Structure 1
């Protein structure tokens, strides 16, 4: 593979599994690897975007940080799909709820990812592209959650380019279209997967509610993320 290592990923051929779990925070990737995986090796430290490969119940799996926002996750997932021959990327992150029936601690699975980004412009499509999850991963995630007794809400999420949005009415506009929650990466992940002919899924733990103001403490987030990570690992 002539394209690897890359300026962003120091892994060599064969060091990354076919399935990669991708939190935004590289330190969370480190925590997942040390907590859930066996026989762990670190394949990337470039820019401190830590990546690890190990085994879970005998199956090879990797976990790597993706950073914040679509430009960052776009780079890492593109390279994983196209240079490292990864087949499945499962984003595991946090989100802010937009709907009254989506509660803090709920796990949201992004069936689709709306976006205010121009990421799709590069494809020169003659219309508006709708980024969606891979059905097989989505179906399996729901089945695993049901077996675990974990509540999941499936639907549309928003991948926003702006964390601090100057348009104070933006959330209201997405809320009226029944978008469940807002995050910052899923749309780019889904588009990269579609273009590469690979599989992607975004699972999110609701860490705060945009309208009620409720939010989880650091300790509570750790417990809630634990449920989401176990779903992802079982996929």
Structure 2
């Protein structure tokens, strides 16, 4: 048992899907996994282990933002031997080429968080990126399923309400969507030499003002979830 995860060594699979919302973790586990066990409910940040198409997988809520995600990512890696993490969540589209409910694969993570500066110090502007093997696998799995995912740079905002960020400039430089976690996940994956990939569904659009409801975000992103699970079982390395 770690400080924030009420599990024993062996309770968590080596491959983990990590949504921010613990209720999305519950939905994924109850809807898609067999033989499900709830291994942690500490702080209501729910975690489950089960099987998908015969392969063992866990689903763990991470909370919102890089600081919260960093707690669960670090403990899963250091205390429970997790070697592959998929962030599955929602994002806001920033590019006119991205539509509501599109699936996005995070190729790289841009951020205004201090986590990178604090890690490397002044003068180094490290670029956290996805694991290419997972990215390539997810892209082709999606295409084989008739989906057309968008692949690109994701902006992980340190604050949800932030009027100071120049979103247009980020878009002009190729950033296609915004959320709050990807950069932190990719940085920690690089630090600990594990694999990570962000797979997102567009829940709202910064240009058009379109948005999904909170309930839809919790339960309706099934194409993204199935893609994440199918990619996960294709890349399990025990």
1:149 paired with 2:149, answer no
Number of residue pairs aligned between Structure 1 and Structure 2: 230
Does the aligned pair in 1 maintain the 2:105–2:135 contact within 8 Å?
yes
Instruction: Give the Å deviation of 1:224.
Output: 5.2
Name the counterpart of 2:229: 233
Match of 1:200 among 196, 214, 220: 196
Q: Secondary structure, in 3 states, of the residue corresponding to 2:130?
A: coil
1:79 paired with 2:75, answer yes
Provide the TM-score with structure 2 as the length reference: 0.93
Name the counterpart of 1:136: 133
Q: Secondary structure, in 3 states, of the residue corresponding to 1:130?
A: coil
Name the counterpart of 2:88: 92
Q: Secondary structure, in 3 states, of the residue corresponding to 2:139?
A: helix
Does the aligned pair in 2 maintain the 1:98–1:179 contact within 8 Å?
yes
1:8 paired with 2:7, answer no
- State the alpha-carbon separation in 1 of the partners of residues 216 and 68 from structure 2: 27
Provide the TM-score with structure 1 as the length reference: 0.94
Match of 2:27 among 5, 25, 31: 31
- State the alpha-carbon separation in 2 of the partners of residues 45 and 71 from structure 1: 19
| 5+ long unaligned stretches in structure 2 | 232-238
| 5+ long unaligned stretches in structure 1 | none
Instruction: Give the Å deviation of 1:86.
Output: 0.4
Instruction: Classify 1:45/1:221 alpha carbon distance in 2 versus 1 (closer, same or farther; 3 Å).
Output: closer
Q: Secondary structure, in 3 states, of the residue corresponding to 1:180?
A: strand
Q: Secondary structure, in 3 states, of the residue corresponding to 1:40?
A: strand
Deviations 1:6-26, CA, capped at 9 Å, x for gaps: 220111010000100011100
Match of 2:124 among 123, 127, 130: 127
Aligned Cα root-mean-square deviation (Å): 1.4
Deviations 1:97-129, CA, capped at 9 Å, x for gaps: 001010001001110000001101332355100
Does the aligned pair in 1 maintain the 2:24–2:218 contact within 8 Å?
no
1:162 paired with 2:152, answer no
- State the alpha-carbon separation in 2 of the partners of residues 111 and 200 from structure 1: 10
Name the counterpart of 1:58: 54
Does the aligned pair in 2 maintain the 1:105–1:224 contact within 8 Å?
no
- Higher mean Cα deviation, 191-200 or 208-217? 208-217
Instruction: Give the Å deviation of 1:219.
Output: 6.1
